[in-house]
Structure 1
Amino acid sequence: MASSRASQASGSAQGEHDLRRRNVSEKGENGSALGGPSEVDKKKEIPTKNQTSFPKILDDYEFLLAPLIFTALAFFTRMYKIGLSDIVTWDEAHFGKFGSHYLKREFYFDVHPPLGKMLVGLSGYMAGYNGSFEFKSGEKYPEELNYTFMRLFNSAFGAMCVPVAYYTARELNFRRPAVWLVTLMVLFENSYATISRFILLDSMLLFFTFTTTLCWARFHRLRHDSFSPEWFTWLVLTGISIGCVCSVKWVGLFCTALVGAYTAEDLWNKFGDLNMKKPTLISHVITRVAGLIVIPLLVYMFSFYIHFLVLENSGPGDAQMSSLFQANLKGTDVGKDSPLEVAYGSRATLKNMGYGGGLLHSHIQTYPEGSQQQQVTCYHHKDANNDWFFYPNRADPLYDAEAPLKYVSNNHVLRLIHSQTGRNLHSHAVSAPVTKGDNEVSSYGNTTVGDDKDHWTVEVVDDAASRDYSRIRTLTTSFRLRHTTLGCYLRAGNVNLPQWGFKQIEVTCAKENKPKDVYTHWNVESHWNERLPAGDPGSYKSPFLRDFMHLNVAMMTSNNALVPDPDKQDDLASQFWQWPVLNVGLRMCGWDDHIVKYFLLGNPIVYWGSTASLFTFGALVAWYLVRWQRGYEELKPSEIDYIHYGGFYPVVGWFLHYMPFVAMARVTYVHHYYPALYFAILTMGFVMDWFTKPLHRKDKRLEWAVYAALYVAVFALFWTFRAMVFGMEGDNKQWRHLKWFDRWRITD
């Protein structure tokens, strides 16, 4: 009994000793958890003559000199011959055009948040560009557009990923050779260098992914200095970086999930610490909520606030927003000279008030199944097929243009007649084509032919201008249309019809009555009636939060609609399994002999080595788990901690950035793997650091020889494929030697 207690006391003392040693180690410059000297040990060292030597100075200031050299090389790899191709290359056609909209201050719509595109616009502004170029794919840039500067601006983000990777590897406690390996793999990764050279969002996305990882790693290293000024600084920087990466592309949410997983684990551990006082635990929770939820959300919302502030003119994306928002844009036709109150005989467009809702639309095409009557959809493009006439129901006298005006009011029963085809908005007990639980909505009959299934009852929901619901007002009145006979409600959700419906939004008659379902809410957007005076409904402002939510749901809906089209062959698309093994590349432009050609392909050793490291790490963890289960306790607490944060979290980061593309149905391309690739690179840094530890103890020169071979291989393969980065000129057949696999479509 006494022996057991003594053993327990000894184990406890040893554990406290290990914890103190680990705490001191974590405050070291780098590598201390694997046996490197801590700052305390360094201070105890007796000065020698060699400490003032040049090699010693280089060693002491390596953390400044090495990243400066790496950064200089990064600017070379990202910027050398960057203006060689003078044509709009790949997705420059999209993002350059979005930058133009900012310079012309025209409202547009895109599936990505606005920060990256605003930075593209900023680069155009700094380059003296006026926004007049259309950025058509393959078109030559005009002389007055300094596209080289705009590309340089973007490439700077890609170049700065290199020093960020260096310092991240240090914060993860990698030893110097592994830190250099991670840095060189990012520096000489051909795909990173190539995609950073064009007017795209990817360099910005990568940069903020890298900064988020760095801030998280540094914040973790400061966990024993909680609530210190430096701890607060890195917490806030982590939050800002999360906000920025999410504001460039929603892929940033995966990086947010990584930090969220760490935070949940960290707070759970603190919750289990019985020595921690409750006020301290509550303070930890509050500061993390503020730093990692509130700050990122504010950054994200602020990017949209600036987006709305800059884009004050009417543009091609107006229809994605609410009618009231559009009415406040300069140069819009929405609400312009529209009579304020709607009367029978008025011609109008009806806007669905659901997030991302479109305009009620019909066309001569019919449903291939069901009633086979004329299709009714929701559509964002503005044309004459969106126009409808308000007509009395069949029990009331026929509409007479000479009779006194009669205004459309709450609880009125009426008909809506399509202006182009003359058919009535109609519903019946036939299942909708996609949403089978709802009734189909069609256009049927004409002004004289029809039945009571053409009747709709107006139910006013709200009015932004008045509490008087006696009349329907343009833009401001929100109302529902209940089918008078069936009792269902006209609805346009976020379901898209198949190709026979031109992938427009399905309109149904929802059987279930949900008054708060905004997809059953409608308003009159544009209104024409010569017998009524013009109004000014656009004087009412649309609230920012409503516009913010509306645009984000519209983005989500459009993003979900980016699914492969079975009727079209997309030679640029690829599958998720092809990315980690470098099975496929991507042609970024035309492949004619007179065009400077760019091929998006990674560095083979970076891809294959990082992918192999993921499996190696899994085998490593499995090995030690089996050993632990069998009673072996060969790992020190500091080594377990190092595996946990230096190896496990990079693997989690890779998993979070990769697996969603396995599950999602949208079209995927090779560049979707690039954020995940970074975490695979970090994993390789850990694996090499771990397995070369015995060499470090035995013979450092042998260890450096192993790393030197890797350094040379990484650079050599980058240089072998450099033409894909800097531009391939002339006959593409001269690059036949680079086509290692048939899937690499480098030659015809």
Structure 2
Amino acid sequence: MSSTGVNGSSTQPRLRKGRADAAPNKQVEEVKVHNFAEEEDITIEAVEKVIAPIFFTVLAFLTRMYKIGVSDIVTWDEAHFGKFGSHYLKREFYFDVHPPLGKMLVGLSGFLCGYNGSFEFKSGDHYPPEVNYTFMRVFNATFGALCVPVAYFTAKSLKFSTAATWLVTLMVLCENSYATISRFILLDSMLMLFTFTTFLGLAKFHTYRTKPFTIGWWFWMLFTGFNIGCVTSVKWVGMLTTALVGIYTIQELWEKFGDLKMPFATYMKHWAARIICLIIVPMAIYMLSFKLHFMILENSGPGDAQMSSLFQANLKNSPLTKGPLDVAFGSKVTVKNMGYGGGLLHSHVQTYPEGSEQQQVTCYHHKDTNNDWVFVPVRTDAPYDHEGEIRYVKSGDKVRLIHDMTGRNLHSHNIAAPMTKNEWEVSCYGNDTVGDDKDNWIVEVVKDTHRDKKVHTLTSTLRFRNEPLGCYLRAANVALPQWGFKQIEVACAPDTVVWDRFTHWNIEQHTNDRLPPAEATSYRSPFLRDFVHLNVAMMTSNNALVPDPDKRDDLASRPWQWPVLNVGLRMCGWGNDTVKYYLLGNPIVVWSSTASLGIFALLTFIYICRWKRQYRDMTREQFEYYVYSGLYPALGWALHYFPFILMARVTYVHHYLPALYFAIMTFGFLFDYITSRVFGKLTYILRPVSYVFAYAAVVGVFWLFSPISFGLTGDHEDYSYLNWLSTWTI
């Protein structure tokens, strides 16, 4: 079987045509032999395209499924994602920083195996008999196994040689971190598969670039857009894959803009096709995942507080609609900020370490008794009488808000807020008798579905203006340091506008034994508003996932450590009676792919310098191959790696896994490119030898390190021979 060259053409030597004066019969005979050889080559290649992916797929399922159920312990982040899957089965609303598609698939795996959602998935616990965790892991591992044939077809689409295609596929197959991460109830295998399929769609679409508006052209563009929607619906890291497709699209449209032979109407059709397939379709899939998320999670649950009060009122078993409608003096309430990602007005006995050193006031997303406040009159008015006439709170009324647990007044003063220095600090101060006029707040009703001036539960949008200072109670998405328990800062903003949502509040939960409960009313919460609200809340929580200097996280790592394989990650306890898993890449795969990135960058720099000096090292066809099959995978690695350096959030080894795939593709391109050019006349000898050596190294090291993927049993000291680096803790 012949190999394919770097530009996709066969490297098998062609038979020379006969001379012009040669015998006619002889020339015809030579032509017949030549055609027969080409047909044989095509037949062999066609067989390879069928047999090879099947063979690699079988191996992928074997490596991902082998001993998958040997550990019956909740391992690593199974504690999170298994629990989220349980919420779908119980249809309880929850909150998480990731989009819902992957977790819905986890819930689907539990539904298919008869799990009822009752298990709490506490880290380190043993799975009970009623939870078929093996089936749920197999369901998840299927996504990881399918990554292997996708890698094969992607390499083929990038026009790698057959040998290079096999090498890339083997590297994905024998990457220990891929084999390990795919074995558990996590989102990473889904993220990787949709990342791989998005890049496959891009590579296949590129092969149809000269056949616009054909069936294949439309199919692969829609395929790419569909997978963009899926990958971003699993984790927001999928936006990095989207950026790669976006860069390719911009480049392609820019080149077409320079084609003077193309009619303007045709050019606009290209724009319209890409807007539909690569923007509208992914957005529709992303929004559909949230629509299903809201439809399935119809019951009140632990994530209610992250959503607007009107959304919560639509949940079954929600306590919000059981209270009175009209708010009166003496009512105990919870006050919800209506800004995107806003929480409940909250206080606790801890004080500010600086400034006034008075009791802290924050916004908190979890419901507890420290969120309860009582409306009472200001001190210059008649005091509240529990037996007297009911006095309703109306727009324009002066009130005091007393924190129910500590008895202190909501207060502000001319002291800068701890984080937002251009706003005033808000604290809790004094008591029912001790205080000053800075405890007084004027209630302003911004809008309400009811026409009277009363303050109503859920429906009234309120602002609270401090009487002497003239500032408004505001809760922006600024997290306090650890002394504030990473809760949201509440301040008093002197310069604000009426449409500033972060100064808008509503009464969420309301109790007053003197008032009748509200009539059963259907509160409608628009999907788009809920969709935006939840996404902003996810973004806010994501930004709060920063390393805590007061706590040591032995599992966290820095991005510089990933490409050099400086660290691994223990995924469970390390006792002798525990089946242990260690998340670490195949050293040959990771180190060689990292080295290829540096070599590729150097080679590209040399070509640029030679091009500037008027050297012509490539034909146009070779240049396009170099860019689309070499440069774009390297760019994919950069897009999936460097953002983590810029992020302030805590990072772990598994964050490198999508970037590693693009590094593997870069290595496959470079290995193929160099071996086909450098060896010269010795290509037919050294090239096969180099590939056989590479195959053996990848497979051999994977097998050597396979215990960290399939499970370490017994004394961990027995595996000390795997600690190639002192920083590895196998």
TM bucket normalised to smaller = over 0.9
Give, in angstroms, the shift of residue 57 of structure 1.
4.3
1:154 aligned to 2:137?
Answer: no
Q: How far, CA to CA, are the matches of 1:205 and 1:306 in structure 2?
A: 19
Q: Pick from 2, 5, 10: which aligns with 1:36?
A: 10
SS, match of residue 416 in structure 1: strand
Q: Which residue of 2 aligns with 1:700?
A: 684
1:342 aligned to 2:327?
Answer: yes
Q: Which residue of 1 aligns with 2:607?
A: 624
Distance 1:653 1:450, change over 3 A: same
Q: How far, CA to CA, are the matches of 1:185 and 1:248 in structure 2?
A: 25
Q: How far, CA to CA, are the matches of 1:518 and 1:537 in structure 2?
A: 28
1:340/1:537 contact within 8 Å kept = no
More moved, 386-395 vs 642-651: 386-395
Q: Which residue of 1 aligns with 2:516?
A: 533
1:581/1:607 contact within 8 Å kept = yes
Q: Pick from 89, 114, 121: which aligns with 1:103?
A: 89
Give, in angstroms, the shift of residue 31 of structure 1.
5.0
Q: How far, CA to CA, are the matches of 2:686 and 2:353 in structure 1?
A: 72
1:30/1:170 contact within 8 Å kept = no
Q: Pick from 556, 573, 582: which aligns with 2:539?
A: 556
Q: How far, CA to CA, are the matches of 2:601 and 2:269 in structure 1?
A: 36
1:425 aligned to 2:434?
Answer: no
Q: Which residue of 2 aligns with 1:441?
A: 426
Distance 1:517 1:207, change over 3 A: same
1:717 aligned to 2:701?
Answer: yes
Q: Which residue of 2 aligns with 1:361?
A: 346
Distance 1:573 1:64, change over 3 A: same
Q: Which residue of 2 aligns with 1:182?
A: 168
Deviations 1:356-396 (A, max 9, x none): 11110111111111111111111111111111111122332
- Residue segments in structure 2 that go unaligned for 5+ positions in a row: 16-30
2:675/2:683 contact within 8 Å kept = no
Q: How far, CA to CA, are the matches of 2:244 and 2:504 in structure 1?
A: 38
What does 1:153-552 correspond to in 2, within 5 Å?
A: 153-335=139-321, 337-463=322-448, 465-466=449-450, 468-536=451-519, 539-552=522-535
SS, match of residue 128 in structure 1: coil
Distance 1:672 1:469, change over 3 A: farther
Q: Which amino acid counterpart does residue 326 of structure 1 have in structure 2?
A: Q
Q: Pick from 640, 652, 661: which aligns with 2:644?
A: 661
Deviations 1:63-91 (A, max 9, x none): 11100000000001100010011111111
Q: Which residue of 2 aligns with 1:21?
A: none
SS, match of residue 274 in structure 2: helix
Q: Which residue of 2 aligns with 1:737?
A: 721
Q: Which amino acid counterpart does residue 63 of structure 1 have in structure 2?
A: K
Distance 1:639 1:138, change over 3 A: same
1:255/1:653 contact within 8 Å kept = yes
Distance 1:140 1:656, change over 3 A: same
Give, in angstroms, the shift of residue 35 of structure 1.
3.5
1:34/1:639 contact within 8 Å kept = no
Q: Which residue of 2 aligns with 1:598?
A: 581
- Residue segments in structure 1 that go unaligned for 5+ positions in a row: 1-28
Q: Which amino acid counterpart does residue 446 of structure 1 have in structure 2?
A: N
Give, in angstroms, the shift of residue 692 of structure 1.
1.3
1:633 aligned to 2:616?
Answer: yes
Deviations 1:484-540 (A, max 9, x none): 211111011111111111111110001211222211110000111112110147521
Deviations 1:225-268 (A, max 9, x none): 11111111111111110000000000000000000111111111
SS, match of residue 228 in structure 2: helix
Q: Provide the aligned C-alpha RMSD in A.
A: 1.8
Give, in angstroms, the shift of residue 689 of structure 1.
1.4
Distance 1:499 1:536, change over 3 A: farther
Aligned length: 710
1:242/1:255 contact within 8 Å kept = yes
SS, match of residue 481 in structure 1: strand
Give, in angstroms, the shift of residue 51 of structure 1.
7.3
Distance 1:537 1:622, change over 3 A: farther
Q: Which amino acid counterpart does residue 316 of structure 2 have in structure 1?
A: K
Q: Which residue of 1 aligns with 2:56?
A: 70
2:349/2:359 contact within 8 Å kept = yes
Give, in angstroms, the shift of residue 56 of structure 1.
7.0
SS, match of residue 350 in structure 1: strand
Taking only the aligned residue pairs, the percentage that are identical comes to: 61
Deviations 1:452-471 (A, max 9, x none): 111111122222x33x1511
Q: How far, CA to CA, are the matches of 1:45 and 1:246 in structure 2?
A: 54
Q: Which amino acid counterpart does residue 310 of structure 2 have in structure 1?
A: L
What does 1:86-165 correspond to in 2, within 5 Å?
A: 86-165=72-151
